[in-house]
Amino acid sequence: MPLDRTDAPLHGLTVLEIGVFMAAPFATMQLADLGARVIKVENPAGPDPTRATGPFVDGHSSPFARLNRNKESVALDLKTGAGREAFLRLVAGADALVENLRPGALRRLGLGPDELRELNPRLVYASASGFGQDGPLAALPGLDIMAQARSGLMSITGSPEGDPAKVGVPICDLVCGLYTALAVTAALRARDRDGHGQEVDVSLLESGVSLAVWEAGKYFATGDVGCPLGSAHQTQAPYQAVRCADGWVTVGAITDKTWQGLCAALDLWHLRDDPRYSDSGARHARREELIGEIEAVTTKRAGADVVAALDAEGVPCAPINDYGQVFTDPHLTERGYFWDAEHPAGPLRQLGSPMRLSGTPVRRDGAGPVLGADTHTVLGEVGYTTAEIDALIGTMSR
C-alpha cells in the first residue's frame, strides 16, 4: 500500500526511480524520507543488483532494505511494449524521475528526457551518472572508486607514504545522491514558479571535485597541489588524530582559546607561550614537531582520560569509534536516531535521517520493499484492471 505521511514536507509529490546500486536510490531515499511518494521501477528479470548484495535477513538484502526505505516497488520490463506503456502511464502523473543508468540507456528505449517531457512537460528528469550526460568521459562506466580517483580525492587520502586509499564509504556515490535530491527539490520549486519541468544532470566526478574546498583554495592561490596527510588538516594544527596509551583520539585546537585549553588540559604550559606556536599557521608549519610534543604526554594516558581532560577545557576532541560503537552510541540512541522499519522479515533497524524538521518531520515507515510488492496497487491507480495487471505480470514472468 502507498506509504503516507501528510505532515511530511514533500507530501503530495510522486517520484519515479529507475535506480541501481547507490546514487539514484540514495537520492530518492532522501526524497522519500521527506514525504515524496517514491515508486521504484525494476525489471523483474534483472532488478536493482543491490537486492543480491548480502548480508541477508530471511533471504532479503539487508543493505537494500535500508537504502530503499519508504518506497514502493513496481516490476516492469521497459524493453517490452506492455511494460513501456505502463511506465508511460506512471510518467504522465509523476512530478520527477530519477535514474542512474549509463547515459543514453533510457534514450535508446524511447524514454529519454525529450520523450518523457513531451508527454509530461512538468516532469523533472534527473540523471545521476559517473561522468555526466556529455563530454569525452560520458560513455565510460563510472563507479565510486573511479570517481574518487579522477576527482583527486584518492590523491589526498591515506598516509603520506602509504598505498592509494579511498574514503571508507562510497563518498562520490553518496554526495552525488545528495546533490541529485537537492537539485530535484530545487527544480520542483522552480516548476512551482514557472510551470515547467527541466533536466537535471549530476555526476559522481563533479560531486567529488566539489568537495575540494581547501585543495582548490591552495592550488588557485599558489599553484601548490595537495597530498595525503593522514588525519592532519591541510592548513591548521593541531587538528588530527594523536596517539594515546591505548589507541588514538582526535583533537582540533586551532583557535587561541582552544589552543590554550589544550595546553591546560595536557599540562603543556611551556608550549602555550612558545613563539614557535604563536598561532595556528605557525603551529601547522611545525606540525610534526608539535605533535611529537603533544604525544609525549598523550601516549602516557588512556584515550578516555585525554578526551575527558580536553572536554573539561572545551577543546574539540573525540575518540575514534568503530561502527559497533557508533550503532550503539548513547548520544544517538537518546536522540532517537535509530529506528525500526516494518518488513516481511521483521523489524529492521534503520539509520535515521540527519534532517530534523520541527514542524514537518521526516517519514519513518517501511523498509525497502519486496520486488513488485506494489505493482497491483500502483498500476491500478493509473487505470489498469486486476486482470490486465495479472496478464502483464504473466508476460514478464515468461
The catalytic residue positions are 173
Of all residues in the chain, what percent are helix, strand and coil, respectively (each to 5)? 40, 15, 45
Burial of 296 (0-12, 13-18, 19+ CB in 10 A): exposed
Longest dimension (CA), the chain: 83
- One-letter identity of residue 119: L
Close Cβ partners of 156 (under 8 Å, ≥ 6 residues apart): 215, 226, 227, 228, 229
- Residues 228-231: contacts with CB under 8 Å, at least 24 apart: 228/155, 228/156, 228/157, 228/158, 228/159, 228/160, 228/162, 228/165, 229/156, 229/160, 230/158, 230/159, 230/160
CB-based burial, 87-109: b 16+ in 10 Å, e otherwise = bbbbbeebbbbbbbbebebbeee
Cβ proximity of 232 and 240 under 8 Å? yes
Quickly count: other Cβ atoms within 10 Å of residue 190's Cβ: 14
- Pairing status of strand 37-42 against strand 71-75: parallel
DSSP 370: P
The grid cell for 121 is 512537460
Give the DSSP H/E element, type plus range, for residue 90: helix 81-92
DSSP-assigned letters across all residues of 148-160: HHHTTGGGGSS-T
Phi-psi region of 284 (alpha: psi -120 to 50; beta: other; left: phi over 0): alpha
54 to each of 20, 49, 325, 345, how far by Cα in Å? 15, 11, 22, 14
d(CA 225, CA 283): 21
